[in-house]
Structure 1
Amino acid sequence: MFTRIRQLLSQFFRRTRTINNEPLNKVSLIVIILIDIFILINVFTGLDDISRWHISPTEAYPCYSEWQNYRTKTTKDKDYEIVKLSLPSDTNNQLSFQRNYQQAEVGHLGKVSKTCLQYADYKDKINNPEKQQIIKTIDEEQAKISTLEQKNRTIKAQYDSTLLEKIAGQGREQSINQVSAEKAKQVLEQNNREISTFKQFIYTLKNELLAKAESISFIAFFKDDNQFREVDKGYRQASFWYPSIQLAFQSLFLLPLILIALSVHKFAQGRGYGLISLISWHLLAIFFIPLIVKIFEFLQISAIFRFFFNIISAIFGGLLFLINYIYILLIPIIGFGIIQFFQKFVFNPKVQAASRVQKSRCVNCAKKIRPLDIYCPHCGYDQDIECQNCHNLTYKHLSYCKHCGASQDSSNL
């Protein structure tokens, strides 16, 4: 098997460097390489574009992350924080939340969740100048509190220094501190009173914001587990299948290119068009490279990976590195299976030879030869083998002798 693989690789590289079995000159080889790089870049760009043709789970369920964050938060202000998200500070040329969610559908396959669109509608109803002004006022008051708290920290940090200055009898005019030791406590108390006043004002404003009819309806909708249970289920299903959808679209992009390149290559080989055969062979290799890369990417993030991940997590807990052992074992097995399949059904010498003999072609390189040629003038391959029964020369790789009809299976091994 390894000998056959080595022969295939040798044949592959020979085809990439020769035209009609003649080696390419350096200039031609450089031009071919530049063409390969240009096409490869465009292929990967096309794959990236088509992989986003179907909207992602995040775009299909844009409200999922906000709902999930709301569920996991334990802060007492989480109702206010979720309402604040519906009131962006920058309103210039701002699309409505609902229109913004629907933009994901433009030019793409898939639909945005109806629950998320309904959620966006509630957010749009909250978003008005009155509530934006309340949020702005709260932020301003919070900034004042932050400033006073910073002053208090500074005074507390300098208190020990001012006390030492007083003990040493140093004059106030020589001190580098903002507040004297005598006034430090007084200033701290005054700042704390102001902070308390600002916090009370903020508390009142938050309650006023949450007491609005639109806010009450929005929070009630957000807390409706029946609505968002469907969102959670849909998001998980979409996340599970999205890598498979991406691979399907990427394959849809690549397979026509592979089939066209393969057809052109076979046609050019049959007609002896060396340059076209060479370019189409390079294109065939280029189109297969991204396909193989995407398949391996799929194996790392797809449903298969999640399946193994869940099994390892359930059985071995944190020993997730065992997934790599599974891949190390599984991928070579799959690779050998693919090799055996191509060896037996696609590149089987007997299957190829039967078709090539009927078309008067070399059983090795498939180029046109005369029926009486013993050796291929293109690759030098011996076309015949001695029959073990009648000892006449018969076609190599075919099952029966053309003279006596004896089975050649043992002699062709």
Structure 2
Amino acid sequence: MFARIRRIVSQFFSRSRTINNEPLNKVSLIVIILIDIFILINVFTGLDDISRWHISPTEAYPCYSEWQNYRAKTTKDKDYEIVKLSLPYENSNQLSFQRNYQQAEAGHLGKVSKTCLQYADYKDKINNPEKQQIIKSIDREQAKISSFEQANRTIESQYDSTLLEKIAGQGREQSINQVGAEKAKQALEQNNRQINTLKQEISTLKNELLAKPESISFITFLKDDNQFREVEQGYRQASFWYPSIQLAFQSLFLLPLILIALSVHKFAQGRGYGLVSLISWHLLVIFFIPLIIKIFEFLQIGVIFKFIFDIIRTLFGGLLFLINYAYILLIPIIGFGIIQFFQKFVFNAKVQAASRVQKSRCVNCAKKIRHLDAYCPHCGYYQNIECQNCHNLTYKHLPYCKHCGTSQNCSNL
């Protein structure tokens, strides 16, 4: 087993740095490595671009996060806060909310939720100069409140100091504090009255804003459970399938490159084009690396992961760390299955031997050899085996003896 792995690794590195079994010079090797790096960067860039071809769940349901936050809040001002989000200060060069949502469809696959577009339409109806002016007035009043509250904190922090100055008989003109001790209480009370007045004005303005017909329609829409349930269900379903869609598009990007590189590599090997064979081999490896990485990423966040996650959460409740145990057991089993598949069907020596013998190639490395060569001059592999029936030499790995026709299954094991 380990000897076979070492041989495979050795063949891999031999293929990667030799042309027609001759080692590359240092300059050529550096050039090929630079080409590999350049192509690998572009492959990952292309994968990143194509993975965003289909709109994401957040783009398909742009209202979900904002809507969910609104429903989760328990503060009394949550209606005002959601309406305020519809009223940006500057509106001259800004797209409408509906147009902004629809921009996600430009140059991408998928559609934005109709319910979210309806949500955006309600926000656009709220957004007008009159309501923007109300928001600006509220913000100005709030700024005044903050100023008075800061003044109160300053007075309170300086009170002990002003009291000591008064006891010591220090003149007011020599004090570094804003208000003297005798006037501190009066100043605090006056500021608090101003704060209360401003808060009442703010409350009136908020009620005025929320009483507008457009605001009432928007709030009524937000409180419709059926509408939100539709968006929530769609968002969760899109989130469930999005990693699978991304992997499908990434595979669609990589598979043609892999097939082209593999075809060119086989053609170059058959014609003896050493440099073309070497470069196409490097390209084949480069195209496989991101595919393997993306498959492992998918296993961590895709449909399979969510399926295992849901099963473990159902069976064991909060013991979600068991997912790691499941992966530790599952991945080696999947890897073992993949290895067995490739060993038995793709890279099986018996399957490959018939085609290679017909083309006068080495049954081990597939390099061109003469018909009567017992050993491959490229890899040194012995091509024949003794028939147990007639004791003549016949081809290794082929099912029957070429002299007497006896089955060679036992002798080729």
Q: CA deviation at 1:309?
A: 2.5
RMSD of aligned Cα (Å): 1.2
Question: Which stretch of structure 1 is more off in the superposition, 373-382 or 101-110?
Answer: 373-382
5 Å-filtered alignment, 1:264-413, equals 264-413=264-413
Q: Could you say which residue in structure 1 is the equivalent of 2:181?
A: 181
Alignment of 1:200-211 (within 5 A): 200-211=200-211
> Is residue 71 from structure 1 mapped to residue 94 from structure 2 by the alignment?
no
| CA shift for structure 1 position 233 | 0.4
Counterpart secondary structure, 1:80: helix
CA shift, 1:405, in A, is 1.3
TM-score (norm 2): 0.98
Q: In structure 2, what is the Cα distance between the partners aligned to 1:187 and 1:315?
A: 64
Cα shift readout 1:156-211 (whole Å, capped 9, x = no counterpart): 11112211222222222222211111100100111011111111111111111111
- The residue type paired with residue 342 of structure 1 is F
Structure 2 residue ranges without an equivalent (≥5): none
Question: Is 1:100 aligned to 2:100, yes or no?
Answer: yes
The range that moved more, 53-62 or 401-410, is 401-410
CA distance in 2, matches of 1:6, 1:288: 20
Displacement after TM superposition at 1:277 (Å):
0.2
- Relative to the length of structure 1, the TM-score reads 0.98
User: Could you tell me which residue of structure 1 aligns to residue 218 of structure 2?
Assistant: 218
* Letter aligned with residue 214 of structure 1: E
Rounded Cα–Cα distance in structure 2 between residues aligned with 1:7 and 1:408: 25
Indicate the residue corresponding to 1:123 in structure 2: 123
Aligned to 1:155: 155
Alpha-carbon deviation of 1:295?
Answer: 0.6
- Distance in 2 (alpha carbons) for counterparts of 1:378 and 1:231: 64
Distance 1:169 1:112 in 2: 74
Q: Which residue of 1 aligns with 2:91?
A: 91
Letter of the structure 1 residue corresponding to residue 333 of structure 2: I
- Supply the distance in 2 between the matched residues of 1:95 and 1:20 (Cα, whole angstroms): 62
What SS does structure 2 have at the residue aligned with 1:385? strand
3-state SS in 2 of match to 1:231: helix
Q: Give me the whole-angstrom Cα distance separating, in 1, the residues matched to 2:217 and 2:310.
A: 39
| Residue pairs, 1:124-139, within 5 angstroms | 124-139=124-139
Task: State the AA in 2 paired with 1:107.
Answer: G
Deviation at 1:367, TM superposition (A): 1.7
Partner of 1:46: 46
> 1:2 & 1:328 partners in 2: Cα distance?
22
Q: How far, CA to CA, are the matches of 2:359 and 2:259 in structure 1? A: 22
Identify which range, 25-34 or 314-323, moves more after superposition.
314-323
Does 1:239 pair with 2:235?
Answer: no
Tell me the alpha carbon deviations over residues 339-385 of structure 1, each in whole angstroms, 9 at most, x when there is no partner: 11000000000000011111211111112222111112222221111
Cα deviation for residue 315 of structure 1 reads: 3.8
Between the aligned partners of 1:400 and 1:244, the Cα distance in structure 2 is 46
2:142 aligns with 142
**Deviations 1:292-318, CA, capped at 9 Å, x for gaps:** 010111111112222222333344444
> One-letter code of the match for 1:206?
K
Paired residue secondary structure (1:90): coil
Q: Which moved more, 1:387-396 or 1:261-270?
A: 387-396
Instruction: In structure 2, give the amino acid aligned to 1:77.
Output: D
Q: Distance in 2 between matches of 1:163 and 1:309?
A: 66
Cα deviation for residue 13 of structure 1 reads 1.1
How far apart are the structure 2 equivalents of 1:387 and 1:92?
A: 90
SS of the residue 1:298 aligns to: helix
Report the Cα distance in structure 1 between the residues aligned to 2:113 and 2:327, rounded to whole angstroms: 36
For structure 1, the 5+ residue unaligned runs are none
Q: Secondary structure at the match of 2:394?
A: strand
| Identical positions, percent | 87
Letter in 1 for 2:23: P
* Larger displacement relative to structure 2 (221-230 or 41-50): 221-230
Corresponding position of 2:166: 166
One-letter identity of the residue aligned with 1:286: I
Q: Secondary structure at the match of 1:121?
A: helix
Cα separation, 1, equivalents of 2:166 and 2:404: 123
Please give the secondary structure, in 2, of the residue aligned with 1:184: helix
User: How far did residue 224 of structure 1 move?
Assistant: 1.0
Post-superposition offset of 1:3? 3.2
Runs of 4+ that moved beyond 6 A: none
Moved more, 321-330 or 150-159: 321-330
Question: What is the alpha-carbon distance in structure 1 between the residues aligned to residue 50 and residue 74 of structure 2?
Answer: 41
172-181 vs 317-326, greater mean Cα deviation:
317-326
Higher mean displacement: 322-331 or 345-354: 322-331
